[in-house]
Chains A and B, each alone.
Chain A
């Protein structure tokens, strides 16, 4: 037990928690925007893969790190455009299209990787984002170490704040919340349901891709095929866990990251010697299922989630 306490009070543990939470926060915000507008985006897993790949490849080809982030975002938005064209004006099944987009984006990343690096067995490394030194803050005991984070992590939290502000404090956010609840009401007020929903999916997909790029540009320094490894699906669970609210979703991501960081450390303790390591690795997925069960009856789902809207069909 004391081992766990030691872990929980160490600054390095909390630094890891924030690091692990960052890509989840970015992608969860992306998914949350889509779902608030009424579109379930199951493309998230593949879009994170394409973001991880394109961001990394851009930097490998000589672009600055933020250039890589921009490229990843652009790639994500492109797949978001594909998803939204099919699901919004055409109103196709969001399940099928989302899975199709995930398969296509994942395959595109693999195809492009093999095309650009036909011979390599282990992927080349880039120099990733380094922890920022913030005068004053970084020198504080404990807190300075816990908050020793890269610029992309700070960016992730800034994005979460911006999403919350936009949703609750601006006319645009009001329209997005309305279009996920009752698109006909939005249409009747002279706003474009198609425009709002497509915009939300495209922007949200861009954020998911940046979440993926975090893995290659900040957390690790190269690209592996299996590196996203279900994080996208976990983010979908986090949106439900956060009851479609940005603040709660961020808290959920941090809680989740804390469990993840804990299981990594527990593997090195006496517990890790007794239990198979696969159990620890399965913990994030088990937790996600548990979160879905806990929130099942409580949250208010956007009423028009997964319901396509066709003008003139009242």
Chain B
């Protein structure tokens, strides 16, 4: 077999195939439910209800979506330039650390939030700067370096929480002291458990979208991602563009950790992120790297997680079904997107 490009794919093909991929994922979900000895329809219903069934469920889903929007944006920005930043997990923790460093009393009130947000972005950006410079200067593959940095960062956080950043009142638990109230993100609507991090995430998505479509930097990022040789020939400073992309991407990923600490948890612990950095890759790919799409897919992915938790408590199907579904959705989706552009022919 070989692949042949379809010059002008039909709208049916462009919508139908991704829809089919989601349907196939649904099929896998039902199959897994069957394997676990549960009623597949009941399981799907419980996931949906767990994610969207009540005001509380919806708020929980949106809260869970907040860091995913940030990490999804970070990945989408980087992948657009073919910069394989798999280190959003580490950058997230860099942001979280800055939220604690600046949020536990060092700064006076009105300044603390914007300053700690800025510091978080700088820390995340700095963390990705190393791998990207190794890539542009020495040709070291950034996939492996960013992955390895995730492990190093987790150990560093563990060190901080057991040493210099340990909460003396923590009763031996490795967690940081709580943020001062001025360093906490307020709720969007009083009485509803949804913090301003969610609103900021949406603002960030719009900002990224504007950058990508309206600015010269966005044009450069897309050009470098599609064809770095042509970009260089046309006079674009390819390495500088990659560095700028990395700063943007690392900064966005750091905001995920910052908003989790400042908005949701109020302190740092080493289980702050259940893999938000990695899940951001799925979020970004399902959104086809479109920044506004990231908002939608992040809420979808968060819903699967929240819903699966609820379902697992009720139906006894392991909650890891969520991770399996998302990985499956990712693989089905990349295949579906390819097949909107090419067809398989014999010979």
Contacts and interface: CB of A to CB of B under 8 A. Distances in A.
5 contacts: A103-B323, A110-B318, A114-B318, A292-B145, A293-B134
Interface residues of A, number: 47
A108 B331 CA distance: 14
Contacts of B155: 278-279, 281-282
Contacts of B145: 289, 292
Interface in B149-175: 149, 151-152, 155-156, 158-159, 162-163
B230 interface: no
B327 to A, nearest CB: 4
Interface string B90-107: 000000000000000000
B144 A111 contact: no
B294 to A, nearest CB: 16
Contacts of A229: 151
A156 interface: no
B140 A108 contact: no
Contacts, number: 124
Q: By DSSP majority rule, is chain B's interface helix, strand, loop, or mixed?
A: helix
3 closest Cβ pairs, A-B complex: A107-B323, A114-B318, A104-B327
B264 interface: no
A237 B151 CA distance: 14
A288 B152 CA distance: 11
Contact of A293 (B140, B163, B316): B140
B39 to A, nearest CB: 16
Interface string A221-263: 0000000011001101100100000000000000000000000
Contact of B144 (A114, A233, A276, A310): A233
Contacts of B151: 229-230, 233, 282, 285
Chain A CB within 10 Å — which of B163, B320, B321, B330 has the most? B320
A90 B324 contact: no
Interface string B76-112: 0000000010100000000000000000000000000
B316 A118 contact: yes
Interface string B303-336: 0000000000000101111011011101100110
A286 to B, nearest CB: 7
Contact of B320 (A82, A111, A240, A281): A111
Given A103-B323, A292-B140, 8 more contacts: A42-B143, A96-B334, A101-B331, A233-B147, A282-B152, A288-B144, A297-B138, A310-B3
B17 interface: no
A242 to B, nearest CB: 14
A107 B327 contact: yes
Contacts of B162: 276
Nearest to A296: B138
B16 to A, nearest CB: 18
A100 B86 CA distance: 12
A278 B156 contact: yes
Contact of B324 (A93, A111, A240, A312): A111
Interface residues on B, range: 35 or more
Interface string A50-64: 000000000000000
B281 interface: yes
A278 B334 contact: no
Interface of B: 1-3, 32, 35-36, 84, 86, 134, 138-141, 143-145, 147-149, 151-152, 155-156, 158-159, 162-163, 278, 281-282, 285, 316, 318-321, 323-324, 326-328, 330-331, 334-335, 338
A89 interface: yes
A99 interface: yes
B163 A99 contact: no
A233 B89 CA distance: 15
Nearest to B331: A100
A93 B327 contact: no
A73 B84 CA distance: 29
Interface in A43-83: 82
A96 B330 contact: yes
A103 B326 contact: yes
Contacts of A82: 331
Interface in A114-139: 114-115, 118
A236 to B, nearest CB: 5
B323 to A, nearest CB: 3
Interface centre among B3, B147, B326 (most CB of A within 10 A): B147
Nearest to A308: B3
A236 B32 CA distance: 32
Nearest to B147: A233
A278 B140 contact: no
Contacts of B3: 89-91, 310
B331 A86 contact: yes
Contacts of B141: 240, 292
Given A230-B147, A233-B147, A278-B156, A92 B318 contact: no
A240 B323 CA distance: 30
A110 B323 contact: yes
